[in-house]
Each structure stands twice: as structure tokens, then as C-alpha cells.
């Protein structure tokens, strides 16, 4: 069938290009134009991207996938985009949060008088370009290209401060991601050599009889490994807390939007679109991965309790929350898959609120340690209320967005008859409360008016407004999961597509 290209058919490409061009423009012009003009480029690109991405939602909801084959990238495989429900969920999150983090970054970077802002904004835009690209990638090689671009583009953000600590974290980050990326590459080669295809197919294209089982398991972990590293599944998580040395908006980006979610999304694509439930179950890969996720959820919560640096605590919380997504994927039911996808949304909004709040506190008071934040809630009430809302959401209380996703994952676990997973999920909600509530309690401690904080007020509006918006969104989405963008419908749709052949 001849597929004529029209301007609208090219939308996935525009969505990727808009950030790429923004990144290039910022890098080349950044030092020669005024900061306002430079940030103008970022914001314009972010707005354009949101418009492009949102405009594709109706078509995807109607069940048509926007497919775009550009040119052959390697012999026999094209550089192709395919906008499906799962990719759309991640793309919506990434593009929505880009604009909020950009506004927040402007406030933070200026408030904090940071160096190297040009490189920062350029790398940031590049990350978003890569994230969008891997949402829409139609096959493994396109996916891998964007995956590696994301790896490299994040590096300058991690080493942003150019100091010894940053350099070490950068090395650690590179060691983890490059090694896993190269092994992923080898896995892709083997899969292509065995199956002759690389197209993501809901329900997978590897049949259980294509490879002998132990080899299949090896290839499964070669490919999932890259996702596990980026998603911080233990024992491959240690780059994530180390990357905390970066500026807070970067942490927000790393931990809530682009990088870790790209890891979770990679796991999703590999487990459910390459291997498929049948092969993943047959080679035991899914089950092993699920147990690793369970381990991560519990252990990371305990580690988080012992961290008194607010950002480090949030980092370990991220490690745990990302494993929810991995667990949801590995339970291999439509419910849990929808829950896992929706948790990408839920966790993004909640965690970014938490990080933005932490950053706001840091810029205003230069405090990192939780124990020094006594009474700060009275000085920065809106920030801390947003923080509280997001904390409760992380714990998965009803009427908060975290509830929707966790409930679905639990439903999947019940359907599969896995009581341990159910118990883990419920226990971890309580654990999340135990490490996030103390922050809130300390901040709002009664009858203590810390004189140290008297001169401080709320952070600048550029920082305050985004974090209030994300907090509000996370409550709205908790009550009406489909509000606005129909993200929950998209997640359910993706789950049904994958498990259609098995029902």
C-alpha cells in the first residue's frame, strides 16, 4: 500500500525535531543572545511540542496508529515511528512536564546563579528529543538510537557542576548506562538474527520455541538489563542516587521524567512488545524480574528511611516507585500493564512535585538536610502543602493519582494469584508514608518558629507555580483518571492490545 506523506502524517517527526532544533539553536546561539531569548527558544519549543503531541491523542484513542517510515536506517529496517497508546502515554507525560520543568529551571538556575546554563538548556532539550523519539519508535533499532542519545545527552547534565564529585557521578552513570546499552545492542543483534524482524508488536514477536530456554533467558536479560539500569532496579541502581549531585531540575528530569521512565518504558517494550507475555513467561524472565522488583521495592524503602539528605531520600523513593512499574509489567496481565503505564504518569507528576519542592527549599534556604528543616512549612506553606499532597499520593491514598495505578497493579497481582506481590505493594505504601511523612511533620512542627527561617518566604513564582500545578494535576488525575488527556484510557487500551491474542 502506498502511503502518501502529508504534513500531518509527519507529526511524530516534528515532535522529535522540535526539541532537536531547539537544542541545536541553544548550543550555537546560547552564548551570543540574551538569556531571555535563549529561554524563549526552550519555551517556544516546549509549547510547540505539547501542541504536536496532544494533537495526536484523538487519533490514537480512536484506535488508529500514526505510522511513519522515513528511510532505511540499516539494511532491511526503516527508521520508523509508530504512535501507539503506550508510547502516547509516555510522550504526553514527557512533553507536559518539559514545559513545567523549563519554567522551574529558569527560576532555579537564575535564583541559584548557576554556571554553564547554555549547555544545560541544550542538553535538556536533547534529552526530551530522545525521550519523545523512544516513545514513538516503531522498532528496536530506532528505539536503541534514541535510547543511546538519551544516555549521552544526560551525561552533561549529571556533571553539570564540573567538580570532582560530579565527575565521579558522571563516570558511574556512564559505566552503568554504557555497559548495559552495549549489552542491549548485542541482544538486539541476536534477536534480529534469530527472528529477522525488529518491529514492536503488541504481544511480542518472539515465539517460545525460537531459542533454547537458557539462551532465551540470557537474551531476555541482555535486553531488559538496559531498562533495569535506567529504571534503577536493584542491584543496578547505584548510579541514580550518585547522580543527585546535579542541580535539582536535572534530578527532577532524571528521576521523574525522561531517564528513569525511559528505562521503565524500555522494559515495557522489551517484555511485552518484543518477547511478549508468552515467551517472557516461558523463559521465566518475567518472574525473575518481578522478584527483583519486589526486592527493590522493599529494600529501597528501608534505605530511604535512613537518608537525611532530602534529595537522596527522594532518589531512593524513585528507585522503589520505578520497580512498581517493572513489577506491573512483569505480572503480565492487562490490569497490571495498564496500572504500570498509568504509574508512569502518576509517579511523574508526584515525584516532580517533590523534587521541585526540595529544590525550592534549597534555593531559598540552602538547606539539604531534613533535620534542619524544622518549621519551614510556616514560611513556605504552598510549597510544603504541595509536598504533602505528593507524599500522600506516593503512598497511594485514594483520590490521589498514585491510588489509580497501584490499585490496578494489585488487581493484576490478585488475578494472577500472587499474594506476595499484593502484600509487597500494600506494605510498600506504608513504608512510603514512613519515609515521606517525617519530612512533612518536621516542616509543620507545632509551636516551633525557627528564627533562622524568618527572613525567608516562598520561592520565586517561576518555581512555585510549576510545582503547584503538578500537585494539583496529581490530585485531579487521582479523582478523574481520564481528565483532559484520557491517559487512563490510553493505558487500558495499551494493556488490552498486548493481551488481546491471549484472551
Partner 1 sequence: MTANIPVLVILLPLCSALPCLALTKVNRHLGNAVVKIACLGSFVLSVIQLTEVVKNGPIHYAIGNYAVPYGIELVIDSLNAVLLVAFSLIGILTLIFAGNFGDRKRPMMIAAANAEIALLITGLLGMTSTGDVFNLYVFLEITSLSAYCLISLGGSRGVVSAYRYMLVGTIAATFYLLGIGILYGATGTLNMGDMAKILNEGGHDNAMLVAMCFLIPAFGIKMALFPFHGWQPSAYAHAEPGSRPLITGVMGKVPALAMFRFFFCIYGTDFRFVRLSLILLGVFSVIGMLYGSIMAMGQSDIRKILAYSSVAQIGYISLGFAIGTPISLAGAFLHMLGHAFMKGGLFFCTGAIRYKYGTADIDNFGRIYKKMPLTCGLLVIASLSMIGIPPTVGFFSKWYLALGAAGRHEWIYIAVLVISSLLNAVYFFKLIEKVFIRQSAGLKERWKSEEFELPVSIILPVVVCFLAILGLGLFNVRIIDILLMTLEGVGL
Compute CA distances 386 → 42, 73, 109, 399, 474, whole Å. 26, 45, 21, 15, 10
Task: Quote helix, strand, coil % in the chain, to nearest 5.
Answer: 75, 5, 20
User: Candidates 141-149, 237-245, 282-290, 438-446 — which segment interacts with partner 1 by CB under 8 A?
Assistant: 141-149
Work out whether 455 is an interface residue with partner 1 (CB under 8 A).
Answer: no
| Sign of the alpha-carbon torsion through 159, 160, 164, 166 | negative
In angstroms, give the least distance from the CB of 68 to partner 1.
16
Q: What is the Cα–Cα distance from 43 to 432, expressed in whole angstroms?
A: 34
In angstroms, give the least distance from the CB of 147 to partner 1.
9
Q: Which of these, 354, 360, 314, lies nearest to 464 by C-alpha position?
A: 360
Which listed residue (51, 112, 167, 489) binds partner 1 by CB under 8 A? 167
User: Candidates 189-197, 242-250, 267-275, 362-370 — which segment interacts with partner 1 by CB under 8 A?
Assistant: 189-197
Q: What are 72's strand-pairing partners?
A: 78
Q: What is the Cα–Cα distance from 431 to 316, expressed in whole angstroms?
A: 12
Query: CB-wise, 75 or 371, nearer to partner 1?
Result: 75
Task: Please say whether the beta carbons of 88 and 54 come within 8 A.
Answer: no
In angstroms, give the least distance from the CB of 274 to partner 1.
16
Query: CB-wise, 92 or 153, nearer to partner 1?
Result: 153
Task: Please say whether the beta carbons of 274 and 223 come within 8 A.
Answer: yes
Which listed residue (189, 430, 483, 500) binds partner 1 by CB under 8 A? 189
Work out whether 21 is an interface residue with partner 1 (CB under 8 A).
Answer: no
Which listed residue (55, 64, 115, 182) binds partner 1 by CB under 8 A? 182
User: Candidates 174-182, 253-261, 341-349, 410-418 — which segment interacts with partner 1 by CB under 8 A?
Assistant: 174-182
Query: CB-wise, 73 or 385, nearer to partner 1?
Result: 73
Which listed residue (2, 7, 193, 503) binds partner 1 by CB under 8 A? 193
Query: CB-wise, 174 or 439, nearer to partner 1?
Result: 174
Task: Please say whether the beta carbons of 141 and 223 come within 8 A.
Answer: no
Query: CB-wise, 84 or 148, nearer to partner 1?
Result: 148
Query: CB-wise, 59 or 179, nearer to partner 1?
Result: 179
Task: Please say whether the beta carbons of 462 and 107 come within 8 A.
Answer: yes
DSSP letter for 451, please: G
Q: What is the Cα–Cα distance from 307 to 74, expressed in whole angstroms?
A: 47
Which listed residue (112, 171, 172, 378) binds partner 1 by CB under 8 A? 171
- Pattern 25-44, partner 1, x by CB under 8 A: --x-----------------
C-alpha cell at position 113: 546563579
Compute CA distances 253 → 48, 355, 389, whole Å. 19, 9, 20
Task: Please say whether the beta carbons of 342 and 404 come within 8 A.
Answer: yes
Q: What is the Cα–Cα distance from 452 to 329, expressed in whole angstroms?
A: 47
Work out whether 186 is an interface residue with partner 1 (CB under 8 A).
Answer: yes
Which residues, 68 to 87, sit near partner 1 by CB under 8 A? 71-75
Torsion of CA 476, 481, 485, 490, to 10 degrees: 160
Work out whether 152 is an interface residue with partner 1 (CB under 8 A).
Answer: yes
Work out whether 210 is an interface residue with partner 1 (CB under 8 A).
Answer: no
Which listed residue (108, 121, 176, 185) binds partner 1 by CB under 8 A? 185
C-alpha cell at position 29: 546561539
Work out whether 168 is an interface residue with partner 1 (CB under 8 A).
Answer: no
Q: Which residues bind partner 1 (CB under 8 A)?
A: 27, 71-75, 141, 144-145, 148-149, 151-152, 156, 159, 162, 166-167, 170-171, 174, 178-179, 182-183, 185-186, 189-190, 192-193
Amino acid at each position: 500500500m502506498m502511503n502518501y506523506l502529508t504534513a500531518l502524517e509527519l507529526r511524530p517527526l516534528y515532535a522529535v525535531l522540535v526539541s532537536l532544533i531547539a537544542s541545536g539553536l541553544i548550543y550555537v546561539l546560547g552564548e551570543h543572545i540574551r538569556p531571555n531569548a535563549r529561554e524563549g527558544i526552550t519555551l517556544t519549543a516546549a509549547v510547540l511540542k505539547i501542541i504536536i503531541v496532544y494533537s495526536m491523542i484523538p487519533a490514537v484513542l480512536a484506535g488508529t496508529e500514526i505510522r511513519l517510515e522515513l528511510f532505511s536506517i540499516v539494511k532491511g529496517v526503516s527508521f520508523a515511528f509508530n504512535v501507539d497508546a503506550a508510547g502516547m502515554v509516555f510522550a504526553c507525560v514527557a512533553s507536559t512536564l518539559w514545559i513545567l520543568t523549563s519554567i522551574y529551571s529558569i527560576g532555579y538556575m537564575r535564583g541559584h546563579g548557576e554556571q554553564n546554563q547554555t549547555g544545560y538548556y541544550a542538553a535538556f532539550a536533547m534529552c526530551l528529543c530522545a525521550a519523545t523519539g523512544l516513545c514513538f519508535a516503531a522498532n528496536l533499532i530506532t528505539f536503541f538510537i534514541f535510547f543511546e542519545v538519551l544516555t549521552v545527552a544526560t551525561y552533561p547534565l549529571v556533571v553539570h557542576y564540573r567538580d570532582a564529585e560530579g565527575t565521579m557521578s558522571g563516570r558511574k552513570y556512564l559505566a552503568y548506562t554504557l555497559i548495559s546499552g552495549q549489552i542491549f545492542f548485542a541482544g538486539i543483534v541476536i534477536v534480529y538474527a534469530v527472528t529477522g524482524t525488529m518491529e514492536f508488536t503488541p504481544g511480542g514477536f518472539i515465539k517460545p520455541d525460537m531459542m533454547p530456554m537458557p539462551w532465551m533467558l540470557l537474551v531476555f536479560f541482555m535486553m531488559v538489563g538496559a531498562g533495569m539500569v535506567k529504571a534503577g532496579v536493584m542491584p543496578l541502581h547505584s548510579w541514580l542516587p550518585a547522580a543527585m549531585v546535579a542541580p535539582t531540575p536535572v534530578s527532577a528530569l532524571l528521576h521523574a521524567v525522561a531517564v528513569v521512565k525511559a528505562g521503565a518504558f524500555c522494559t515495557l517494550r522489551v517484555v511485552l512488545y518484543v518477547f511478549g507475555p508468552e515467551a517472557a513467561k516461558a523463559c521465566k524472565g518475567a518472574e525473575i524480574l518481578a522478584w527483583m522488583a519486589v526486592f527493590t521495592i522493599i529494600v529501597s524503602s528501608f534505605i530511604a528511611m535512613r537518608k537525611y539528605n532530602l534529595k537522596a531520600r527522594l532518589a531512593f523513593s524513585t528507585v522503589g516507585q520505578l520497580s512498581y512499574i517493572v513489577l506491573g509489567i512483569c505480572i503480565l496481565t492487562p490490569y497490571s500493564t495498564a496500572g504500570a503505564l498509568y504509574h508512569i504518569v502518576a509517579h511523574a507528576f508526584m515525584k516532580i512535585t517533590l523534587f521541585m519542592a526540595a529544590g525550592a527549599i534549597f534555593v531559598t534556604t540552602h538547606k539539604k538536610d531534613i533535620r534542619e528543616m524544622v518549621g519551614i512549612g510556616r514560611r513556605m506553606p504552598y510549597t510544603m502543602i504541595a509536598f504533602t499532597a505528593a507524599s500522600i499520593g506516593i503512598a497511594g491514598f485514594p483520590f490521589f493519582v498514585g491510588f489509580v495505578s497501584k490499585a490496578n497493579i494489585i488487581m493484576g497481582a490478585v488475578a494472577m494469584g500472587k499474594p506476595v506481590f499484593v502484600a509487597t505493594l500494600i506494605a510498600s505504601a506504608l513504608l512510603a508514608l514512613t519515609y515521606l511523612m517525617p519530612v512533612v511533620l518536621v516542616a509543620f512542627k507545632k509551636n516551633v518558629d525557627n528564627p533562622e527561617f524568618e527572613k525567608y518566604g516562598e520561592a520565586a513564582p517561576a518555581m512555585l507555580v510549576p510545582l503547584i500545578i503538578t500537585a494539583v494535576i496529581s490530585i485531579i488525575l487521582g479523582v478523574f483518571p481520564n481528565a483532559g488527556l484520557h491517559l487512563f484510557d490510553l493505558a487500558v487500551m495499551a494493556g488490552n492490545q498486548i493481551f488481546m491474542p491471549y484472551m
